[in-house]
Amino acid sequence: MSYTIRDAKTSDARAIHDIYGYYVDNTFVTFSEVNPSVEDYAKSIETTKQSYPYIVACDEDGKVIGMAYGGVLRHHDAYKFAVESTIYLAPDTPKQSGIGKALYLELEKRLSHMGYKFMYGVITDTNQASIAFHEKLGYTRVGHFTDIGYKFGEWKGIVWYRKQIGDLSDMTLKI
């Protein structure tokens, strides 16, 4: 499958809304129970891009088939070099196509270039595909919170994965 990766634009908000909405409505992949509005996604794209990359993968027709972005890990100042990463692919994107890996590696490259040192992935503890994906990309499991989220009448836990992406001796952020 042919695809390109580019910066997200506010005009991508509808596609991102629809991709994320699938996971909100049908899975434990996200603990969100309500999908934000298209307008909220447009604002989020602009706000996120002030400090972090927000990128999308598009098929050969220009249709958005996946997105990845960085965000605040925690609001305290000392966490400024750590980023929570997010990635979602459209449910009809072919599995094992390499698109998810390409998106995540591009996000990692951009975050590292900006001076960030660590990427964190927060994954539902029963999501074996995402856990394997992160481990294959060099992430290490650093935490597990059991029974922290309640959705669809079930308790689920989360695992945290971390990857160092920057030199700890260079303390400059380029945002």
Pairing of strands 64-72, 54-59: antiparallel
Residues 99-143 pLDDT 10s: 999 999 999 999 999 999 999 999 999 999 999 999 999 999 999
- Tens of pLDDT along 62-87? 999 999 999 999 999 999 999 999 99
Domain 3-118 falls under CATH 3.30.70.580: no
Q: Give me the residue spans of the domains in the chain.
A: 3-118
3-state secondary structure of 102: helix
